Amino acid sequence: MIRFEAVTITYAGSRAPALAGIDLTVTEGELCLVVGGTGSGKSTLLRSVNGIVPRFTGGTLRGRVTVGGHDTARVPPRELADVVGVVGQDPAATFVADTVEEELAYSMENLGVEPQVMRRRVEDVLDLLNLHELRSRPLQTLSGGQQQRVAIGAVLTATPSVLVLDEPTSALDPVAAEEVLAALTRLVHDLGATVLVAEHRLERVVQYCDRLAVIDDKRVGVGDPSLMMESAPVAPPIVELGREVGWAPLPLSVRDARRMAGPLREELAGRLPFPTGPAPSMRGLAAVHGLHANYGPVAALRGVDLELHAGEIVALMGRNGSGKTTLLAQLVGLRAPSSGAVHVQGRDPHALKPRDLTHLVGLVPQDPSLLLFCETVDEECAASDRDAGLVRGTTRAIAESLVSDLRGSQHPRDLSEGQRLGLALAVVVGARPPLVLLDEPTRGLDYRAKAQLGSALAALSQAGHGIVLATHDVEMAAQVADRVVVLAEGEVVADGPAREVVCHSPVFAPQVAKILAPEPWLTVSEVRAARGSAAGFGPTSTGGADEPAVRVDGGAWT
């Protein structure tokens, strides 16, 4: 169904190809997962399936890409719309209508589908992706995860035989992600659809795929998922645990791992993990009392009470639409409460001028690019220094401590996801706000980039900053969080130590906790340390031997 033959793709102005000598065949009715580090070329591979690369991105393509017998060099993307459906990383960027139902119908209108057929397909997709309760909602009122499901649905209504998805679960909570993956599995098994998907959160997807395509050093290796995972450059925690213990074949699902984990549970019995780092300070940074926030008739927050402390990393979790982003917006003063109060160091953030606010609380949004306005990295850092009244070079020094290979002449949009996040975080923390907020910071990051982010957040907390990250990434929360707060329908339903909250949740527990339950282990690094193969462990350890070192002394980045 999809065939790459000796394909090499080089972007204009680039010294090296994004992909080189790719040979790949995805057969009909197959779910193929594309795996690789950030910047490895996964998105380039996916976008070339319907000819977006290089027709709209520029550059050159050597070799041949065919889909359903159509040569993408000869057939323009518009003529492949009913053959290939593509869902990108930013679903909101593709919306053209006002409401969910109108968006689902739009592609069929362009294809000239009969009205009665359109109605039936819309209903089918609403049921398939559990969107029926959102059918009349304006798109701008949806959470990021809800937008992702609508974007997938808008593609499915055209009934393409090939579906290409780039990070389809990155903005979804664990339950919503399982719903989407179950829907994709039904499309493959029941309807014979061909699905090509790239995803960084392999712990969610790898068990569903029929084959694995691993991109390493611009080339692709393809094979059985379990066998390919033995040497893949990136792997989910379940595979890392299998490698550590020596399981063969490597399990790809929690169910298979639990069947193999009996001896490991016996080995670890009575050796409970405990944090090795300093306890968070009890010095209060922010307080929320009786907070209500509404979007018109929709209540986003209902009577939230919350206290945040210096040196504490708090993971804010919950289903899509539970109020996480709204709570961050209240803490950073973007919206005034409908009722109740928000104070950061005794001050109302909504009442402050922007210049004063940046020295009190900083927010890195879901799309870090929203904080980046200049033409180059150097200009961005210089502007941040000027705006925050910093010594020249401060922001650049912070950015270099957070990310590697950051060239000053690069445009921010040309950076990898991890580099762009690191630059935006440097812009925010350069002003040294006591409270730092991050909204879905691991979206689009591979495991190494997440380890680097974890080190940065640990350094910030050790310097006395309070950190709040709203996240659906249960593995990241397990690695870095001291405390977990769970929201549901705008209310706090759980608030306590991270180990206690996530281990008692079937939804928000990480893979290691599910495999080794009832003992409260969270990460592979904890297990590795307990077995004597690592020097230390704790909630902020990521366990990588080449883990980047980020250090803060006395509040100054070094």
Average pLDDT over residues 172-183: 85
Q: Give residues with Cβ within 8 angstroms of 145, minimum separation 6.
A: 171, 172, 173, 176, 319, 320, 321, 472
Between CA 383 and CA 430 the distance in angstroms is 11
Confidence category of residue 278, pLDDT binned at 50, 70, 90: low
Length of the chain: 558
Angle between helices 417-429 and 447-462 (to 10 degrees): 10
Predicted TM-score of the model (pTM) = 0.84
Q: Which helix (H) or strand (E) holds 222?
A: strand 219-223
Q: Which long-range contacts (CB under 8 A, 24 or more apart) does 457-461 make?
A: 457/313, 457/540, 458/277, 458/313, 458/540, 458/550, 459/550, 459/551, 459/552, 459/557, 460/429, 460/436, 460/552, 461/280, 461/311, 461/312, 461/313, 461/540
Question: Cα separations (Å) of 60 from 19, 55, 79?
Answer: 11, 9, 21
pLDDT of residue 334: 92
Q: Which residues pair with 7 in a beta bridge?
A: 22
Convert the pLDDT of each residue in 44-67 to its tens digit: 999 999 999 999 988 999 999 999
Q: Which amino acid is at 468?
A: V
Q: Tokens 């350069």 appear where?
A: 430
Taken in order 510, 516, 519, 524, is the CA torsion positive or negative? negative
CA neighbor of 529 nearest in space, from 510, 544, 509? 544
Peptide bond between residue 77 and the one before it cis (omega within 30 degrees of 0)? no
Q: According to the model, what pLDDT value does residue 169 have? A: 86
Q: Which residues neighbour 20 within 8 Å (Cβ) at sequence distance 6 or greater?
A: 8, 218, 219
CA-based nearest residue to 9, from 48, 36, 40, 37: 48
Cα R_g (the chain), whole angstroms: 23
In the chain, CATH 3.40.50.300 covers: 2-231, 284-360+433-557
Report d(CA 313, CA 254) in Å as an integer: 27
The residue among 507, 414, 523 whose CA lies nearest residue 204 is 507
Q: What integer is the mean pLDDT of 290-313?
A: 94
Q: What is the mean pLDDT of residues 329-334?
A: 95
270 close to 254: Cβ distance less than 8 angstroms = no
Q: Is the pLDDT of residue 543 over 80?
A: no
Say if CB 300 and CB 338 are below 8 A apart.
Answer: no
pLDDT digits (tens, 9 = 90+) for 14-43: 888 999 999 999 999 999 999 988 778 898
The rounded percent of the chain whose pLDDT value lies above 70 is 94
Q: Which residue has the tokens 């003992």?
A: 519
Q: What is the DSSP string of 496-509?
A: EEHHHHHHT-TTT-
Q: 366 with 171: CB under 8 angstroms?
A: yes
Pick the CATH number of 284-360+433-557 from 2.60.40.420, 3.40.50.2300, 3.40.50.300, 1.10.8.60: 3.40.50.300
> So what's the pLDDT on residue 544?
38
Q: Give the pair of three-digit tokens for residue 549.
A: 């070192």
CA atoms within 13 A on the CB side of 303: 1
State the pLDDT at residue 14: 82
Q: How far apart are CA 435 and CA 325, in angstroms?
A: 16
Task: Tell me the sheet residues that pair with 318.
Answer: 487
**What are 225-257's pLDDT values in tens digits?**
999 998 888 899 999 999 999 999 999 999 999
**Superfamily classification of domain 2-231:** P-loop containing nucleotide triphosphate hydrolases (3.40.50.300)
Condensed to tens digits (0 to 9), the pLDDT of residues 332-379 reads 999 899 999 999 999 999 999 988 899 999 999 988 989 999 999 999
Tokens of 87: 């869902």
Selection from 190, 115, 104, 193 nearest residue 155 by Cα: 104
